[in-house]
Amino acid sequence: MAPPLLLLQDIRFAIGTTALLQGATLSVSPGERLALVGRNGSGKSTLLRIAAGSLAPEGGTRFLQPGATLRYLAQEPDLGGAATALSCVEAGLGPGDDPYRARYLLEQLGLTGEEDPRRLSGGEARRVALAQALAPSPDILLLDEPTNHLDLPAIAWLEAELAASRSALVLISHDRRFLQALSRAMVWLDRGTTRRLDEGFAAFEAWRDAVLEEEERERHKLGRQILREEDWLRYGVTARRKRNMRRVGELAALRQRRREALRPQGGPRMAAAEASGSGTLVIEAKGIAKSLGGRAVVRDFSTRIMRGDRVGIVGPNGAGKTTLLSLLTGASPPDAGTVRVGTALSMVGLDQKRDSLDPAAGLAEVLTGGSGETVLVNGVPRHVVGYMKDFLFSPDQARTAVGVLSGGERGRLMLARALATPSNLLVLDEPTNDLDLETLDLLEEVLSGYGGTVLVASHDRDFLDRVATSVIVAEGGGRWQEYAGGYSDMVAQRGRGVETEARETPKVAGVAAAVRPAAQPPAPARKFGPRQMHTLQSLPGRMDTLRDGIGKLQQALSDPSLYARDRDRFDRFTAALAAQQAELDAAEEEWLALELLREEIENA
């Protein structure tokens, strides 16, 4: 066996008084495909930073073979001071690397290369950083959540790109399908130490559960009763998976019902279904259409969603998934057609940004609304600590401030709060972002046992296969089509997965014209006024100022002792950080909308 290119041995690292890594190891040989998995907060990103050499461990050794090249994609990349996205990627190329690869990678990731790195959104910055890591074809690639902010076509492209790469890979990802496609060995980080399985992700969960069950048996043999909360949280994962297996048949029955509902219906049957009981019909859309900035986002779409349906919405970024959700739930009126929402609906939503959490509030305060120590779940009062355990939080986190939680823990908290609110319609926009595999298991179980209706927009193919009874897919040009079953069922019926419109259209001269959709009537001439131009020109400076302020606040909050030393200052900084981030997001969206409008008017 070839000697390892990268070797970490007995790595130790602590945050404050909490030991995060306690003797972790990692060995990467040429051409290996490793997946690094573990619960949110277990130290995966920390271990990857140590492997990349960007963070020094407090104990242990790191060895990198002399001459071996390594590239690292961080969750929050730093693009430096490059003038353009292209120059940023080209800066990582060596003398023998292909100079055209940088532009190719950026184009595949939906960028032109002319973007200013200082003005990129978080998702665009990660795409540039991903191209920067892939461009030189290094000996070792360390990728921390590479599919974050990528849509389904980009994820499929990245899978193929990495599968063809000769680089050794170490991946952190919550996307099961992505891990199944690429991993050949697993490294499980648990309670500060690592275990290795020399098989791919398909074998991991059964192996992990077997390890935990053997630990439980050994503990009982020694006469140690498993009473600690940590053990309950850990062993509860196995029980949840077994309960999920029991619901596989129920999901199949729901999909069959949805398949029959999607068949052409006669008038009398539709009338009978409507009259069969109040609340049976949840949403009925007939011929709805919506245009934004002169572009058709939804065109002539109809559907009937009944109580108990779980409807997934998929498409490339920018296809209009969030807009379609807004139309179906009545939050936004259609330009044409009608949407009828059923009676006695209580809707609860979860958006992509998780903006509604107060960073200064404690977990228990968020769940109880600041009143008492009980949460009302399905009409039954429960102690907040017991409810927190359901979502893999320990009792000592009850007073932990939201601002110090990881992204995955914040996502888990948002789910806990949303699911505690009485509802019969759940609207989830990218609910799996930043969740670890165990929390995904929990979410799937909750949705399987939920008695109401679910609308979910997601790029997670495995998640849609596990929960959806039907999938609505963007077909291009504002057209949407519904297919019975999960994501894999949709691919089997449609004959292909989700693609961008540009990739679906052939570029050969003459052929493209033959398949191009019929031209739409020209929109009325519009003008880009001086007030809009002034706003467009002044927003970049405002965004730069906000980014500087956010950077300073983040640096101040990175001090682990600040919360204990000066609670008032911590509260002021976290509140200011949330406010400035929200203002920056709004400014970026306004600038993008104005820039698109300007280009459209100038090119008309």
pLDDT, tens digit (0-9, with 9 covering 90-100), for 407-426: 677 777 887 887 777 788 88
Stretch(es) of the chain classified as CATH 1.10.287.380 = 530-603
Most confident option among 231-245, 475-489, 586-600: 475-489
Which tops the pLDDT comparison, 303 or 412? 303
Rg (CA), the chain: 25
Query: pLDDT band at 373, cuts 50/70/90?
Result: confident
DSSP 91-128: TT--TTS-TTHHHHHHHHTT--S---GGG--HHHHHHH
* Alpha-carbon gap, residue 508 to 542, rounded angstroms: 43
pLDDT above 70: percentage of residues in the chain: 80
- Exposed/middle/buried for residue 221 (C-beta within 10 Å: 0-12, 13-18, 19+): exposed
Which pLDDT tens digit goes with each residue over 463-494? 898 889 999 999 988 999 999 888 988 888 88
Q: State yes or no: pLDDT of 604 exceeds 80.
A: no
Q: What is the CATH number of domain 250-515?
A: 3.40.50.300
What's the pLDDT tens digit per position in 96-121?
Answer: 788 888 999 999 888 888 988 888 87
pLDDT computed for residue 354 by the predictor: 55
- What pLDDT does residue 268 have? 30
What per-residue confidence (pLDDT) applies to 73?
92
User: Of 5-9, 309-313, 336-340, 497-501, which gets the smallest average pLDDT?
Assistant: 497-501
Per CATH, the number for 6-208 is 3.40.50.300
Q: What is the pLDDT of residue 506?
A: 35
Strands 425-429 and 380-383: unpaired
Residue pointed to by tokens 């109401």: 452
Confidence of residue 521 (pLDDT cuts 50, 70, 90): very low
pLDDT digits (tens, 9 = 90+) for 14-28: 877 778 899 999 999
pLDDT tens profile 532-584: 777 878 888 888 888 888 888 878 877 777 777 887 787 788 778 878 877 88
The pLDDT score that the predictor gives to residue 276 is 30
Residue 212 or residue 24, greater confidence = 24
Higher model confidence: residue 582 or residue 138? 138
Q: Where in the chain is the domain with CATH 3.40.50.300?
A: 6-208, 250-515
Instruction: Give the pLDDT of residue 237.
Output: 53
Query: In a 10 Å sphere around its CB, with 0-12 CB exposed, 13-18 middle and 19+ buried, how is residue 307 labelled?
Result: middle
For range 87-94, the mean pLDDT? 86
Q: What is the pLDDT of residue 213?
A: 83
244-263 residue pLDDT tens: 555 566 666 766 666 666 65
pLDDT digits (tens, 9 = 90+) for 340-362: 988 888 888 876 555 567 888 88
* Distance set, CA 242 to CA 202, 239, 398, 525, 586 (Å): 16, 5, 28, 60, 43
**What burial class does residue 420 get, using C-beta atoms within 10 Å of its C-beta: 0-12 exposed, 13-18 middle, 19+ buried?**
buried
Residues 6+ apart with CB under 8 A from 306: 261, 273, 280, 281, 282, 453
Pairwise CA distance, residues 320 & 259, whole Å: 24
Q: What are phi and psi for residue 465, nearest 5 degrees? A: -65, -35
Other CB atoms within 10 A of residue 141 CB:
23
The pLDDT value recorded for residue 603 is: 61
State the CATH class of domain 530-603.
Answer: mainly alpha
Task: Report the run of H or E that residue 60 belongs to, with start and end.
Answer: strand 59-64
